[in-house]
Chain A
């Protein structure tokens, strides 16, 4: 890592740290995604994507359908084969740390009439105590606590298949941040969410930004969200066509080519 990058970075951190509590982003963590490429069936789906992501920042990925946004997310998660590296650095002492990634999926496979409560869903991820036995009080309390962060406490005994899009989104968000990851990936988190749910979701993202030490990558079609909440925007089509602030990207030639002059 070059020195200039680091100094510049530390300056940002100093400013960012001002007046924040201990839980919030320290600014000293940096995730470097180097030269990620994905080739499947002889076709290049992602071509040499480089990203630098800092804790406390929201990076939005935009692009047309089929531009490889979900593939990039799955490559970062390590679910599909890819070349390139992902490094997670602590800039304070330049050490490398294991990156913990949280993920909020686009959808989950739960059919109508599925006998699964929010507690069942949640407990499966955070405990080894079999969900089919009596409820475990300790686990139950933990789930209540985590759901409360995102105004989802009352949902705990509801069936997952009865939740609205927004409610499910909040449950998945609480699952993704239990335990708190270093990087949170959200794949089109607002598809099928109504306006009230959207507002609440944005509020929660803002809350995460302010109170947690994590970086976020959000795949989104919702330019209003991208404009308001993201710190960095990436226009993706196999590779990065353009990146920068939303204003920069949305005024660019590349943006007009992809989206034909909306927004």
Chain B
């Protein structure tokens, strides 16, 4: 069987005609398999959803319990039959509950990795390489310029800045699912034990992470003491980056804007965003990790979904490995 007969791109997303299901569809479909809870991958309104317990929980938190008519839980490694097609889920190391989905029929196996990373992250299960014929990879940071540094060293920059500017409130921009909790956990692991203030948009997801056994230390809402800006002197406030350009940020004293993202690797990006303290902390693979993963899995073919497809495809060609871009639309890297 040709791999395209098992899975191919359509305007709604990747589609498996034999099993009649889509993976991470960008519009409502009859049956969806979801890799992880970021809003560009997990949307509401599908007939049936198959995903990990944590991804289903996160979707329910974000969209309400009725985000789909029928939910089905996929356990790690469990082989599930979907209309004659075997599917199994494996950890992707991206955010809590994130999975790669292996799709198999008649000896042809395709792995949709979703978003993934290889670096250490105590807030989710680590990526597990799954041997396959076709490996579908993202390429969010698929350029040789991206080398993500040690996230703890980046976190220590934040703590050093608080010592240097003890009167300023340090606003740390981090997307609300995954990145925010990882950053809080990193700050704790670097020995900071004072309360951390969080924007309201993070509260439910932080509570959920804690309920899943991920310790985040003392978190307080960044709203209660708003009449007294001195309460936030030298404090760490974590919130979605969009909030910092908003009136919300005015309650803080001379805020110093930090942003935890893989994009912060490029100075001009940081500068354009008005970021004073870039923290290069990413939930995606950097360039060496992408290459290492492809080498390790050594599939027959590589398909590249979203990001900087052209550079990764070029690299595969230089290795003599067949590769093609899928040109999927609708994925906007909420997670980084």
A and B co-occur in one complex: no
What residues make up the interface of A, taking CB atoms closer than 8 Å to B? Answer: none
Residues of B within 8 A of A (CB): none
